[in-house]
């Protein structure tokens, strides 16, 4: 399943579920220097590169790997292959356990009320500040390993649990170290100092710190590519958000936004006005704003795990986006309140709860996500196509739809991460 319809831009509407254009069978893939260099019918590729190879017709779903001369040959049997998954919205690095908040929500406390009572982001900030570099790096490594086991080959990760210049720089530095390690999924780093107002600071003073200290220090460090702001009533207003992202953009950072998670606060309108890369959550955004975002090529980044873990009965309007040819993605929103690192589990919500076509859902978590998430090689990814990063998942079965129907365990036998095969199950 290559997801290549001959174009390289965002895919929208009914095109996302066009099996004739997006799925092929009987092809072989040549990987050179971690990049897909050729895709041809299997017999042609074998004849061209390994004429002495005695290929056996494989009727099982066993993965076989053999070294022939200087070439590693991986036979996937009857298992389907899909592109590597791209998690386009995560809060990867933090310390502290907020499991008790589920009980508080069940008692009727809102997200805002829990935060004001010392929970929420404030609690995580305090615990993260106290945590050592070594502990945070270990947590990050463990989480990346779990994400990879669930097929994620690249992700976007935000700071935002430091809320001081020093601690924000520490988080982006650790994320950079994790991304350099090629055994981990690639990380596209986002600075999110504007995640909350740190306790003991006036908002106006903190915004001045963000603009005059954090942005210059972050851009000087050079690890973060993006800026994100929690643009939501009770956190950062439209005017405050606009000021922060204008300064960040002028400093060379790409812009992402959290918008309209709890109510329509005008965040999507600002996202459309500024033409940001992606406006995430967008749960309560109005229809006109959604259309304006589409016209500005802004992706609606849907995070179904957030309402799921918050116990809400409000879901992203994905079908509406498909009907209106608006670009969208899905992501885990991994954070202390949404401890999901499995894109297939998020996709299961979309498919089995919201009735979204599994192929369209896959496009949202690969091809479209690859537009907003930069790979560490700066090569294109998210499609199985010549010239793209060799990131793929080998399913545990021949039916590709199985990628999004298996809650609680990984649907993949193996993941090919930049050309290297990582086996997840005994084959």
Q: Is the pLDDT of residue 62 over 90?
A: no
What is the phi/psi pair of residue 28, to 5°? -115, 155
pLDDT given at position 245: 98
Looking at 65-69, 72-76, 401-405, which range is the least confident one? 65-69
Domains of the chain, first to last: 13-82+384-423 (2.30.40), 85-372 (3.20.20.140)
Q: What is the pLDDT of residues 118-137, one digit of tens each?
A: 788 889 999 999 999 999 99
pLDDT given at position 416: 98
Instruction: Read off the tokens for 217.
Output: 């220090």
Q: Is the pLDDT of residue 171 over 60?
A: yes
CA angle 381/180/412 to nearest 5° reads 50
Looking at 7-21, 111-125, 235-249, 408-422, which range is the least confident one? 111-125
Top-confidence residue, 109 or 328: 328
Instruction: Please state, rounded to an integer, the average pLDDT across all residues of the chain.
Output: 95
Top-confidence residue, 111 or 208: 208
Report the predicted TM-score, pTM, of the whole model to 2 decimal places.
0.96
pLDDT given at position 55: 67
Q: Taking the CB of residue 288, how many other CB atoms lie within 10 A of it?
A: 11
Q: Is the pLDDT of residue 427 over 60?
A: no
pLDDT given at position 164: 97
**In the structure, what pLDDT confidence band is assigned to residue 58 with cuts at 50, 70 and 90?**
low
CA distance 319 to 244: 33
pLDDT given at position 4: 93
pLDDT given at position 251: 98
**In the structure, what pLDDT confidence band is assigned to residue 248 with cuts at 50, 70 and 90?**
very high
- With a pLDDT cut of 90, the percent of the chain lying above it is 83
Q: What is the pLDDT of residues 322-337, one digit of tens each?
A: 999 999 999 999 999 9
CA distance 180 to 138: 15
Q: What is the mean pLDDT of residues 377-399?
A: 97
């Amino acid at each position: 399943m290559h997801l290549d319809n001959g174009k390289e831009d965002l895919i929208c509407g009914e095109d996302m579920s066009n099996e004739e254009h997006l799925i092929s069978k009987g092809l072989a893939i040549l990987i050179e220097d971690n990049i897909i260099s050729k895709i041809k019918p299997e017999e042609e590729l074998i004849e061209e590169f390994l004429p002495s190879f005695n290929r056996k017709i494989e009727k099982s779903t066993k993965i076989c790997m053999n070294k022939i001369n200087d070439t590693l040959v991986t036979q996937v049997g009857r298992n389907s292959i899909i592109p590597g998954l791209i998690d386009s919205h995560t809060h990867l690095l933090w310390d502290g356990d907020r499991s008790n908040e589920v009980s508080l929500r069940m008692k009727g406390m809102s997200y805002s009320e829990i935060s004001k009572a010392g929970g929420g982001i404030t609690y995580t900030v305090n615990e993260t500040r106290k945590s050592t570099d070594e502990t945070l790096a270990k947590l990050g490594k463990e989480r990346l390993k779990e994400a990879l086991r669930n097929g994620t080959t690249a992700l976007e990760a935000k700071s935002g649990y430091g809320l001081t210049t020093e601690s924000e720089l520490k988080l982006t530095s650790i994320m950079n170290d994790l991304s350099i390690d090629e055994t981990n999924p690639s990380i596209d780093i986002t600075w999110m100092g504007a995640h909350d107002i740190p306790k003991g600071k006036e908002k106006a003073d903190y915004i001045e710190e963000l603009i005059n200290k954090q942005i210059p220090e972050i851009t000087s460090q050079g690890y973060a590519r993006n800026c994100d702001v929690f643009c939501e009533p009770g956190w950062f207003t439209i005017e405050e958000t606009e000021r922060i992202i204008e300064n960040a953009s002028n400093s060379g950072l790409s812009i992402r936004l959290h918008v309209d998670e709890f109510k329509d606060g005008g965040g999507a309108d600002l996202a459309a006005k500024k033409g940001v890369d992606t406006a995430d959550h967008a749960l309560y955004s109005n229809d006109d704003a959604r259309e304006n975002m589409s016209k500005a090529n802004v992706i609606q980044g849907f995070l179904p795990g957030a309402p799921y873990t918050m116990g809400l009965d409000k879901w992203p309007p994905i079908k509406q986006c498909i009907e209106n040819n608006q670009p969208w993605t899905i992501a885990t929103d991994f954070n202390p309140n949404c401890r999901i690192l499995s894109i297939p589990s998020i996709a299961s919500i979309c498919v089995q709860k919201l009735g979204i076509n599994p192929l369209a859902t896959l496009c949202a978590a690969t091809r479209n996500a690859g537009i907003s998430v930069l790979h560490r090689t700066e090569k294109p990814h998210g499609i199985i196509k010549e010239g793209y990063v060799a990131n793929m998942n080998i399913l545990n079965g021949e039916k590709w739809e199985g990628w999004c129907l298996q809650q609680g365990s990984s649907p993949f036998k193996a993941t090919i991460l930049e050309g290297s095969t990582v086996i997840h199950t005994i084959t």
